Structures are given as C-alpha cells and as structure tokens.
Structure 1
Amino acid sequence: MSRYLPRRSHVFVDESKAGRYYIAAAVISPADVVATRSAIKSLRHKGSSAVHFKSERDAVRKAFLRGAALTGVKTVVYIVDGKPDKVARPACLEALIQDLCEAEAERFVLEQDDSLAATDRRIIHAELKAHGNTELEYRHMRRTEEPLLWVGDAVAWCFQKGGSWRAEVEPLIGEVRRL
C-alpha cells in the first residue's frame, strides 16, 4: 500500500520501459488540479504542444523539473525489475489500482497507448471489481490533451536514465514502490 496517496486524490500516470519498468503516478488534490495544470502547461517551450522528456533538450528538462517542483506535485513511482513488459505493466497497474482504492482516489488518467488500452481496461476493471470500487473514474488521454501527464513522463524518464537525473527529479518524488 502506498503511504503517500492522500484520500480523494487525482492521479496522472505515465511510464518508461527502458531496462526496468517504471510507472510514475503524479498525485494532486482535487482542489489543486486546475492551478497545477495551468502551472505545468506554462512550462512547455514555445511552439510545443506537449512536453515529452525523451525528445527534450537537457536545459528544457531541467527547467521543467524545477518548475514542476514549485507546484508541490509529488509522484509515487512503481518499479518492476527483470520482467518483460507484458508482466511488469500489469503488476504496476494492479499495485496502483489497489493503492488508489485504499486511498479512495477520485480519478486517474493514464497516458494513451493505443496498443495497450484494451489490456489496461481489462486489468483496471478486474482490479476495481476485486476491490469493490465503483466510484473511481479513469480514462486514457494523450499527452497533448492532459498536461499533468507530463509530470509522470518526466519522473519515469529520469528514473530510467538514473545518475544525475535521479537527483534532479528527487523533489518530485513522494514514494518509490519496488514490486
């Protein structure tokens, strides 16, 4: 169980699957979603429709991390080592859904990956049913539709890169769960 997810949270999830499998869940209280979204949206560079860490320059990455940290947003990072994606992703999603149910989260958004959406929905439905949760709202969205997904993207990318990037992202980390 995550000790970091406050009750009634809204959670925005992205992943990285290079080497280890990471899911980073940005956790925001409902009262802070609008202001945090606006602040995060302002961090993209001019002319860009979204922030995607794997294609950004280092200076843009560092500026984004500093700006995101100023919003107070924190993430819970779920990590699976040494397992193929088809095993690691469900394990991360199951742990995340369990944590969301225990925290009575209101909403969560996963970054849209058309090749995984149907499988994600099956896992999510099964976990919600297993936990008797009929209240949690969830959906898949593209990064251009939801700026708060950029936080999870940044955190997952930094974890995957390691080294100095792991230190750079530390202010955005609330908890790390190794599964």
Structure 2
Amino acid sequence: MLTNVGTHIFIDETKAKGYVVVAVLCPDTSLSLARRAIGGLVLPGQRSIHMKQEGPRRRQAIADVVTGLVPSGVHAVVLDAGRGPSPERVRRKRALEAIVELAAHGSPASLVIDLDQPLLALPDVVAWCWARGGEWRRRVSPVVSHTLEV
C-alpha cells in the first residue's frame, strides 16, 4: 500500500453510518498537485471543504476531483469499524492501530489526523461518500485501494 517514496497520510473519520476511518495516502511527489487540486475547490469565504456542508452537485464535482488524483498515486484505505457492539472508543482504537500498522510498512513522510489543513478534505470526501453508500460509494471507489474491517 505504501511505496518507498515518502508518503503523506491524511486521516479523517465519519460516524454517519457506523464508524469509518479513511486514510488517504499521497506520495511526496504528488503533494503539490493534490494541494492545488483541493485548494482550487475552496470557494471564496470558505476555509476548507467539508462534504456535509456542500450541495449535491458540488459534492459530485469534489468527488470527481479527488478520484482524478488516482493517476498521481493518491489512494485511500477505508477502515470500517462498524456500529458495534464495541464502544466507539474501542472501535477508534482498532482503526488507529490498523493505520499505524499500515504506516509501519512504508516510509511515511507525515501522518495528519483531524487538523484543519487543506488535504484533510481528501479523507473527508472519501469518508462522507463511503458512509452514504450507493452512488456516492461508487463515485469514490476508484480512489479506494483497500477496505479493512477492524
């Protein structure tokens, strides 16, 4: 999943339908391209992109930009911790342990968790679409390289 090239890992979660954590992996060589792509989506007056605050047509456009980054090596890993019966903190712990294991098998340049930085829009988009299922899940599936139940 990771390569020998430094990889930046951006992580976000959704609790909309169960507990899902998405790690988007961006090779160091594609970081500038991804930042430009996401930065170009931020509207005047917006600080960042959050799918839950966007309208349907804009959500489609945003998801298309994210999946358009696949040729540059950007991909996502979906960690589905389900709805229970374990408490959310236990499911979060399992997901984070899986991310640490993922990072340990490569050469991560950085690991960014839930901070207000532009590329956190990447896992936000994937997590939101994945949790909605149906057409939304199909729309982002090109960027999802792996799914793991944790």
- Structural mapping, 1:1-179, within 5 Å: 4-7=1-4, 8-72=6-70, 73-81=74-82, 82=84, 83-111=86-114, 141-142=115-116, 146-179=117-150
- Counterpart AA for 2:103: L
Q: Using the alignment, how far apart are the partners of 1:74 and 1:43 within structure 2?
A: 19
Structure 2 residue matching 1:106: 3-state secondary structure = strand
Gaps in structure 1 of 5+ consecutive residues: 112-140
| Superposed structure 1 runs of 4+ greater than 6 Å apart | none
Identity %: 31
- Counterpart AA for 1:154: V
Cα contact 1:26–1:148 (8 A) shared by 2: no
Q: Deviations over 1:22-46 (max 9, x none)?
A: 1111111111112211111102233
Q: Deviations over 1:45-92 (max 9, x none)?
A: 333211101111011110001112222221111111223211111110
Q: Using the alignment, how far apart are the partners of 2:10 and 2:46 within structure 1?
A: 20
- Counterpart AA for 1:45: L
How many residues end up aligned between the 2 structures? Answer: 144
Q: Using the alignment, how far apart are the partners of 1:71 and 1:18 within structure 2?
A: 25
Q: Structure 1 length normalisation: TM-score?
A: 0.76
Q: Structure 2 length normalisation: TM-score?
A: 0.89
Aligned-residue offset at 1:157: 0.9
Q: Using the alignment, how far apart are the partners of 1:104 and 1:68 within structure 2?
A: 23
Between structure 1 and structure 2, the one with the greater Rg is 1
